[in-house]
Structure 1
Amino acid sequence: SSQHMTVPYGIIRQLYGPPQRRRRYRNEQRIESTEERSVSDQQQDALEKRRHVYRNRLFVKHMGANRISGFQQITPETFKVFPQRLDRLVPWIRRELRAILSLSTSSSSGGIDTSTTDDYHEQHPSRRRYEEIDTGLELIREYTIAVLKQYDLQTDPAQDLLRDFLHEHTEQFVHELMAFARSPHSIEAYDRAAQYPEP
């Protein structure tokens, strides 16, 4: 019999409860080194590419499971037998959620960069809620991992649980997640190897 799983109250409160003012440390940020800026730029470029994928509803092309490709078949039992494979997915899930949530906020604001405008946040509390992205994202990530441990993500019950947060991006997120989970690559190597149709 299938287990019933409800959305934890803490996630609901964080995402839909009264937003908290975002702390700002513009004058206290230390100067980044050239190497740190380079890594940050690379991460930002990768994040923008993921936004492009979700914005244009692009699904990564399937790669067959064989010894040459290194791709493997994945089932819910895989993560029970090899829990380290679940740990491997954490940074990937974090990045994908960041891309999806930031895509949602940018589309709702018309693509205007208002990240440093407190007045705008006062007038648009929904955007400010999503800009509490670090905390909210981690809650959704933990929830996604919990779903992944209990369900086959490619089934309707699992996707219904994720749809409350990912909305129209749910099916694509699951497709992308399972493709990465099947691969033998690091995130960086996977990004280079993944092939997508033209938008």
Structure 2
Amino acid sequence: MKTRTLPIHSIDDNTLWNNLKMGDEKSFSLLFERYYSDLVSYGNSLSPYAEKVQDCVQDVFTDIWVYRNSLQESVVVKAYLLSSVRKRIARLYERDHIFRKTASTDTIAFLLEFSVENELLDDDYATKEKVMYLNKLLNELPPRQKEALYLRYHQGLSVEQIAEMLDVNYQSASNLLHRGLLALRKEWKGSFAFITLLFSSTL
């Protein structure tokens, strides 16, 4: 009897992670293919140097493979990878003397132009004018609030994972999200249900 091979997209992250820890190159390649684009996109939100960002992402995966035997067994793979890219870019800034060396990554400015246009649902609320206005409000938020919202609603991370990535405690991460949403609520002229609908569609 032939062993049934699971479709690539049905293999969960934890299985791939544990397999690569045991030296399975295919699982490593699948994780690379699954997250490379997201990691480069996130890296580009932290640095304007696209080639260096790609190098950082590739270095993260290289380290994962080289040090696979010492990797933690229980991780949220996506959060781990995003956090690793952020730390790698922080070290890049330190090396290039863009800011003074620090153990924290909180000096990195979030550069991404936030856009929810691709996340729209097909309903009566989703008008071009509203989306353009919402994107304008999002991109006027302080960088840390914008990054927290991006990680929560575009990448689906938990508050705990965001706190770890941004090197802050849980309450501070929660405050960043809360203040960002409050700022949007204050300036938004229409129903706040529209924003809630768009954000919930990204999770």
Common fold: TM-score over 0.5: no
Which structure ranks higher in relative contact order (CA pairs < 8 Å, sequence separation ≥ 6)? Answer: 1
